[in-house]
């Protein structure tokens, strides 16, 4: 099971946080601080895994953004790395050439995508197509709504 996912910049600014188990606020802040310092201090050519307490931290850097995923000890590190990668692919497909700014300014979209991809700390849907269709239909709904229509189950049915 995954415990939390953090996205932060090279400067250590938090861009997205998802906690899959209940953790007190104060603890969260401490963890974020520890994660950023630990991950940012890693030398190049090191492996993408870290030990932290009884968890394992899998991190990967995409351009200026670090993705940092905490998994339980018995989980498969390589698979976690691919979870991160698939999330990046999903973001990329949605935003089209995703960049850090997309995530900063549309972080709620990043959350929606994440919620379709992972649920309660487990993989929910790995298909790029399906996740994307889900999100896009919701977005169309949004635009539709802006034009004044409220009931819009039609697009949803296309899923």
Site for another protein in 2-31 (CB under 8 A): 9, 14-17, 20, 22-25, 29
Min dist CB 82 to another protein, Å, is: 5
Q: Which of 12, 40, 112, 136 binds another protein (CB under 8 A)?
A: 112
Q: How far apart are CA 150 and CA 24, in angstroms?
A: 38
84-103 footprint of another protein as x/- string (CB under 8 A) = -xx-xx--x--x-xxxxxx-
Residues 133-152 that bind another protein (CB under 8 A): 134, 138, 141-142, 145, 150-152
Min dist CB 40 to another protein, Å, is: 15
40 contacts another protein (rule: CB under 8 A): no
Q: Any long-range contacts for 114-120 (C-beta under 8 Å, 24+ apart)?
A: 114/5, 114/16, 114/18, 114/87, 117/86, 117/87, 117/90, 118/2, 118/5, 118/18, 118/20, 118/83, 118/87, 120/20
Min dist CB 91 to another protein, Å, is: 8
**Ordered DSSP codes for 21-65:** S---HHHHHHHHHHHHHHHHTPPTTS-SEEEETTEEEEEEEETTE
Min dist CB 101 to another protein, Å, is: 6
Binding-site size for another protein (CB under 8 A) equals: 74
């Amino acid at each position: 099971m995954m415990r939390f996912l953090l996205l932060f910049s090279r400067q250590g600014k938090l861009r997205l946080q998802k906690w899959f188990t209940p953790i007190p606020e104060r603890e969260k802040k401490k963890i974020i601080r520890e994660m950023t310092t630990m991950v940012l201090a890693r030398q190049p050519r090191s492996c993408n895994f870290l030990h932290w307490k009884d968890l394992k931290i899998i991190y990967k850097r995409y351009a200026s953004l670090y993705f940092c995923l905490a998994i339980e000890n018995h989980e498969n590190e390589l698979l976690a790395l691919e979870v991160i990668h698939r999330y990046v692919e999903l973001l990329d497909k949605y935003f089209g050439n995703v960049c850090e700014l997309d995530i900063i300014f549309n972080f709620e979209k990043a959350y929606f995508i994440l919620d379709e991809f992972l649920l309660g700390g487990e993989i929910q849907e790995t298909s790029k197509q399906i996740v994307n269709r889900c999100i896009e239909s919701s977005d169309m709904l949004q635009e539709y709504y802006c034009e004044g229509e409220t009931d819009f189950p039609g697009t949803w049915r296309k899923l």
